[in-house]
């Protein structure tokens, strides 16, 4: 018998009810009920506690209730032979487009500058910027970044994108591979990071690469905090090279109360909400993946452990 065990923190009961409706043929048990360790073949989860997977001896696959799997891949209690399947969009890409657009508009409409002026009751206009003159660079062109690049290009911004492998996206100047990164950075008035956190991308946005951004560039980090050197970012904001940042993700979450980013006048912080997991479409996608596996087929969204995403 196959049992699905769900750990979605405080939302576990909601997910169990949805799975019972979408996948009635597979019994579902949800945290905080104990997992039936010998019968649990599938898990759907987001950051369960350490040791969670160790007793699950019949595990066939783990379905991440999110797009990023860096935390799951780093776990010592999850055998590397167990496939990890992640969410493909499932309603997150539209949210990511909104978040990126927010950052782009903050730069285009000089929101940070006017907010600083407002603090000093200063009425001073800056020249306006046309969409076509604002160069946006999107790092990562997968489910999230691909949607962001496509939408911003349709909206009229001058968009370039960067991925590992070659791609074609209408209206977007697409680059790929390590040597192309510097050029993308150098032409990004707004940089939107949607890269997965992998051994190749952790620490990627270091002091030297952030300094490659043009003067007055604006940084949007909506992917993972470990890819961006936050101290270097602050220094570049302080010395006027960068104009602002919209940050959703941090190396340590929640961002500690004494972190200077909280009080930086050019930084806007959101608590890892750029694109949240939507229960209904996510449960449908996981249910489809489980059904496929039960038929002996591969589930869509299987993570390639060697790439780290």
Looking up tokens 């008035």 gives: 189
Say whether residue 111 binds ligand GLV (CB under 6 A): no
Q: Give me the sheet containing 172-176, strands edge to edge.
A: 172-176, 158-163, 135-139, 190-193, 217-221, 242-247, 267-269
Say whether residue 100 binds ligand NAP (CB under 6 A): no
Looking up tokens 């993308």 gives: 184
Q: Which stretch binds ligand GLV (CB under 6 A): 19-27, 66-74, 205-213, 232-240?
A: 66-74
Torsion angles phi and psi, residue 217, rounded to 5: -65, 160
Which of 60, 212, 272, 302 is labelled catalytic? 272
- Residue 272 known to be catalytic: yes
194 binds, among ligand NAP, ligand GLV, none (CB under 5 to 8 A by kind): ligand NAP
- Residue 224 known to be catalytic: yes
Smallest Cα–Cα separation from 68: which of 270, 274, 269? 274
In the structure encoding, which two tokens stand for residue 167, read together?
A: 């791609």
Nearer to ligand GLV, 17 or 88 (CB): 88
Asked if the bond preceding 157 is cis, omega within 30° of 0, the reply is no
Helix then strand then coil, in percent of the chain rounded to 5, is: 35, 20, 50
Say whether residue 68 binds ligand GLV (CB under 6 A): yes
E-only strand ranges, the chain: 3-7, 28-30, 40-45, 61-64, 84-85, 135-139, 158-163, 172-176, 190-193, 217-221, 242-247, 267-269
* Window 256 to 295, contacts with ligand GLV (CB under 6 A): 277
Asked if the bond preceding 77 is cis, omega within 30° of 0, the reply is no
Say whether residue 228 binds ligand NAP (CB under 6 A): no
Say whether residue 140 binds ligand NAP (CB under 6 A): yes
Say whether residue 193 binds ligand NAP (CB under 6 A): no
Looking at beta carbons, which residue is closest to ligand NAP? Answer: 142
Interface with ligand NAP (CB under 6 A), residue from 8, 61, 73, 92:
92
Q: Using CA atoms, how far apart are residues 41 and 271, in angstroms rounded to an integer?
A: 33
Which of 7, 86, 135, 224 is labelled catalytic? 224
CA-derived radius of gyration, the chain: 21
Q: Using CA atoms, how far apart are residues 30 and 16, in angstroms rounded to an integer?
A: 6
42 binds, among ligand NAP, ligand GLV, none (CB under 5 to 8 A by kind): none
Nearer to ligand GLV, 112 or 275 (CB): 275
In the structure encoding, which two tokens stand for residue 59, read together?
A: 């595990």
* Nearest-approach distance from CB 217 to ligand NAP, in angstroms: 19
Interface with ligand GLV (CB under 6 A), residue from 7, 26, 62, 66:
66
Q: Specify the 3-state DSSP secondary structure of 139.
A: strand
Say whether residue 141 binds ligand NAP (CB under 6 A): yes
Q: Write out the catalytic residue numbers.
A: 224, 272
**Interface with ligand GLV (CB under 6 A):** 66-68, 277
**Interface with ligand NAP (CB under 6 A):** 67-68, 92, 140-145, 162-165, 194-198, 200-201, 222-224, 248-249, 272, 274-275, 309
């Amino acid at each position: 018998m196959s049992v699905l065990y769900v750990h979605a923190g405080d939302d576990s009961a909601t997910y169990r009810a949805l799975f019972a409706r979408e996948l009635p043929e597979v019994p579902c048990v949800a945290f905080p009920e104990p997992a039936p360790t010998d019968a649990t073949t599938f898990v759907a989860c987001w950051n369960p506690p350490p040791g969670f997977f160790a007793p699950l001896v019949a595990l066939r696959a783990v379905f991440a209730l999110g797009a990023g799997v860096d935390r799951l891949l780093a776990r010592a209690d999850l055998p590397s032979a167990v496939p990890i399947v992640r969410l493909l969009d499932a309603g997150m890409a539209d949210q990511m487009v909104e978040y990126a657009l927010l950052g782009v508009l903050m730069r285009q409409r000089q929101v940070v500058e006017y907010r600083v002026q407002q603090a000093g009751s200063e009425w001073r206009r800056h020249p306006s910027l046309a969409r076509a003159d604002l160069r946006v660079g999107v790092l990562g062109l997968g489910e999230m970044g691909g949607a962001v690049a496509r939408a911003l290009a349709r909206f009229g911004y001058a968009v370039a994108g960067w991925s590992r492998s070659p791609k074609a996206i209408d209206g977007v100047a697409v680059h790929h591979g390590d040597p192309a990164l510097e050029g993308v950075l150098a032409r990004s008035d707004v940089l939107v990071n949607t890269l997965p956190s992998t051994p190749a991308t952790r620490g990627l946005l270091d002091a030297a690469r952030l300094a490659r951004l043009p003067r007055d560039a604006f940084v949007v980090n909506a992917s993972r905090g470990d890819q961006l050197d936050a101290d270097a970012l602050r220094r570049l904001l302080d010395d006027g090279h960068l104009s602002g940042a919209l940050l959703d993700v941090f190396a340590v979450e929640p961002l500690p109360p004494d972190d200077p980013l909280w009080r930086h006048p050019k930084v806007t912080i959101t608590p890892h909400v750029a694109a949240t997991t939507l229960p209904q479409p996510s449960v449908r996608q996981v249910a489809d993946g489980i059904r496929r596996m039960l038929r002996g087929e591969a589930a869509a969204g299987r993570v390639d452990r060697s790439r780290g995403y």
